[in-house]
């Protein structure tokens, strides 16, 4: 792995663990096994490196979701595959946690990939729900856009509840709950 890749990966991990303020250039360099000169050779500073790390995290999140969304099955089966996939619930969502970081939210450049990722996720879920409705898999009364927003809100809220309880159970209950609501709109 190249030095720039190690720096990006280290920054991603530290942002997820500590947030932006808690991620110092020195901590990034130590975790990456890179010197200050290497860091500033590849990146103009911490904000530039953080942006690269956030973009990488967003790309991975979208790719992981798309694997489930593009898979076989009905719209509900593909959404279920996404919601039920294995994840480290107690660490929280690596993108969702960034919305709680005041330094990232206050910086439009750092916030942009976060906003774009949630916009993409809501849009992709809405597409799947609309396809399911068009194919007769889901009830015609289901609103794809509002339902997609609900699914994302439940997922992110599930992470928060799990972290607050120090247990994955609230997350799993939230996912099962939203899947139960979606199933009620499924047509036989």
Q: Give how many domains the chain has, as a whole number.
A: 1
23 located within any domain: no
Q: Terminus-to-terminus CA distance in the chain, angstroms?
A: 50
The verdict on residue 38 lying in a domain is no
Residue at 35 is within a domain: no
pLDDT at 35: 86
Cα 8 versus chain centre, distance: 17
* Residue 121 lies inside a defined structural domain of this protein: yes
Asked whether residue 176 is assigned to any structural domain, the reply reads yes
**Residue-level pLDDT at 166:** 97
For the record, the structure tokens of 106 come out as 């206050």
Each residue's pLDDT tens digit, 141-183: 999 999 999 999 999 999 999 999 999 999 999 999 999 999 9
The Cα–Cα gap between 54 and 150 comes to 24
Query: What is the model's pLDDT at position 38?
Result: 86
CATH (domain of 132) = 1.10.357.10
Kindly give the parts of the chain with pLDDT less than 50: none
Residue 48 belongs to a domain:
no
DSSP of 77-116: HHHHHHHTS---GGG--TTGGGGG-HHHHH-HHHHHHHHH
Containing 57, the helix (H) or strand (E) segment is helix 46-69
Pairwise CA distance, residues 39 & 4, whole Å: 7
What is the extent of the structural domain holding 120?
57-183
Indicate whether 93 belongs to any domain. Answer: yes
How far lies 109's CA from each of 46, 51, 97, 133, in Å? 13, 8, 17, 37
For residue 32, tell me if it sits in a domain: no
């Amino acid at each position: 792995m190249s030095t720039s890749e190690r720096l990006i990966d280290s920054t991603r991990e530290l942002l997820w663990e500590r947030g932006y303020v808690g991620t110092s250039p020195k901590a990034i360099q130590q975790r990456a096994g890179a010197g200050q000169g290497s860091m500033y050779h590849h990146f103009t500073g911490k904000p530039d490196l953080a942006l690269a790390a956030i973009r990488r995290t967003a790309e991975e999140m979208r790719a992981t979701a798309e694997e489930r969304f593009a898979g076989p099955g009905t719209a509900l089966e593909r959404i279920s595959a996404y919601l039920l996939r294995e994840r480290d619930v107690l660490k929280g969502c690596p993108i969702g946690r960034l919305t709680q970081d005041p330094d990232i939210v206050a910086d439009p450049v750092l916030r942009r990939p976060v906003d774009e990722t949630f916009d993409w996720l809501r849009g992709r879920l809405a597409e799947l729900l609309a396809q399911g409705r068009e194919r007769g898999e889901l009830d015609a009364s289901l609103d794809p856009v509002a339902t997609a927003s609900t699914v994302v809100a439940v997922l992110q809220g599930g992470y928060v509840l799990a972290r607050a309880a120090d247990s994955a159970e609230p997350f799993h209950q939230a996912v099962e709950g939203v899947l139960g609501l979606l199933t009620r709109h499924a047509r036989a």
